[in-house]
Copies of this chain bind each other. A is one copy, B any other.
Amino acid sequence: MIFNESVKSTRKEEMINITPLVEKALHKSGIHSGISVVYVPHTTAGVTINENADPDVPRDILMGFRHAIPSSLPYAHAEGNSDAHLKAAITGSSVTIIVEEGRLQLGTWQGIFFCEFDGPRERRIYIKFLS
């Protein structure tokens, strides 16, 4: 069984908190102890875990990525979104979270973020639980 969820980004770059979506799927799965794999089937978007308290943190993360990976490099790819492909490679296509006692074992300040690097778009998120 796989959970095939959707998320809609509204800006070019955006980090969207999808923790509630993963928690809802976990509840439906009925898994008590195991792992959760959250997977993004796109090549200009990723997924990461980071601070879910101050919204300045996701903003700073996107800004830091733009500094490290400028959109102005002499890229060859004709679509003009190679910086987004690079940011997706850096964040990665999946995160794995441990499940214990029926709950995601996230740290106090952690949230799961879908990372849009070439929006706005309608995107998919796959979630799978293993026990």
Contact = CB atoms under 8 A, between A and B. Distances in A.
Interface of A: 1-2, 33-35, 37, 39-43, 48-51, 54, 56-57, 59-61, 63-65, 67-70, 73-79, 82-83, 85-86, 88-98, 100, 105-110, 124, 126, 128, 130-131
Work out how many copies of this chain go into the complex.
3
A interface majority secondary structure: mixed
Name which of A37, A41, A67 has the most chain B CB atoms within 10 A of its CB.
Answer: A41
A54 B77 contact: yes
A123 B108 CA distance: 12
A50 to B, nearest CB: 5
Nearest to A68: B68
Contacts of A68: 68-69
